[in-house]
Homo-oligomer: A and B are copies of this chain.
Amino acid sequence: MKVTALAGGVGGAKLADGLSRLDQSLDLTVIVNTGDDFSLFGLQICPDLDTVCYNLAGLENSQTGWGRNQESWVALKEIQSLDGPDWFQLGDKDLATHLERTRRLREGQTLSQITADFCSSWGIGAAVLPMSDDPRPTFVKTDRGVLPFQEYFVRQGCQPAVQGFIFQGAKESAPAPGVLKAIRDADLIVICPSNPWVSIDPILAVPGVRNELKGQQVLGVSPLIGGAAVKGPAAKMYREMGVEPSAAAVAEHYGQLLDGFIIDNQDLVLAEQISEVSGGVLQVYTEDILMKNREERIRLAGQVIDIGKDLVKEI
């Protein structure tokens, strides 16, 4: 079964990891948001791509959700002693990823080539594709001005009130090699429980992606449980954008893109509402979607695939 997942950071990485570890081996491709990418110390840093890869490789820090496990912080401590910026936590192992990626980019390799090589070094079986090899920075329009994503997200801790989003260069960007084909050839598309505004929307804004998705069976997993995000500012963003945050809001956000949508058991009351809003077109499923450990990732991934198979049959 060919499965293509769209993913951002931590939540998406967890489900992608679960999908990659199912007993029934899938032909899995993960298309990852690169709108969060930025440059610091001259290094090209791709937070979502790294979070996905570290998780797929089993190298992730399960406490923080980002970065490497058994990480050390020697370089960062020295940077602090030189009064350098320490708002973005760069561990020593993580640094190596950015250093070698930057070196290869400067040599002329593309982000997708580099990512494929890194995945091979890390023993990752799934294909991990950046959404684009072109720079596609996300900016956040806020009450404190237009901020580069990491400035908003990490440096200002998501404090500014969001007014909108800019996906710079979206129209001119090309999908990375393999992205459109991975969508076209997939038996099932999974929209991972990532932030719709800043993790999934940037992928959907890549020219050609929405169009390819139209003919496909798309199953989403809600990033919101009980109106709150498991991690990150998704709920806060909905509120600031004038929408009551809930799994229903996410379903409406994706609209006709979705054929199926998995929400948490505790949001059972929303199931009917979501289905009704779609005119009965959208199939809504309830599961325990919180993934607190690797076993729960695999369990949810199994449910996603089971539901996906039903969905594919139905359609």
Contact = CB atoms under 8 A, between A and B. Distances in A.
A82 B97 contact: yes
Contacts of A100: 41, 79, 82, 84
Nearest to A74: B92
Contact of A95 (B75, B93, B102, B103): B75
A121 interface: yes
The A interface, classified by DSSP as helix, strand, loop or mixed, is helix
A42 B92 contact: no
Contact of A99 (B75, B81, B121): B75
A8 to B, nearest CB: 23
Nearest to A71: B74
Nearest to A91: B74
A306 interface: no
A82 B83 CA distance: 30
Contacts of A79: 96, 99-100
A85 B72 contact: no
A181 interface: no
Interface of A: 40-43, 72, 74-79, 81-85, 92-93, 95-97, 99-100, 102-103, 106, 117-118, 121
24 contacts: A41-B99, A41-B100, A41-B103, A42-B42, A42-B102, A42-B106, A43-B99, A72-B72, A74-B93, A74-B96, A75-B92, A75-B95, A76-B96, A77-B96, A78-B93, A78-B97, A79-B96, A79-B100, A82-B96, A84-B99, A84-B100, A92-B92, A92-B95, A95-B99
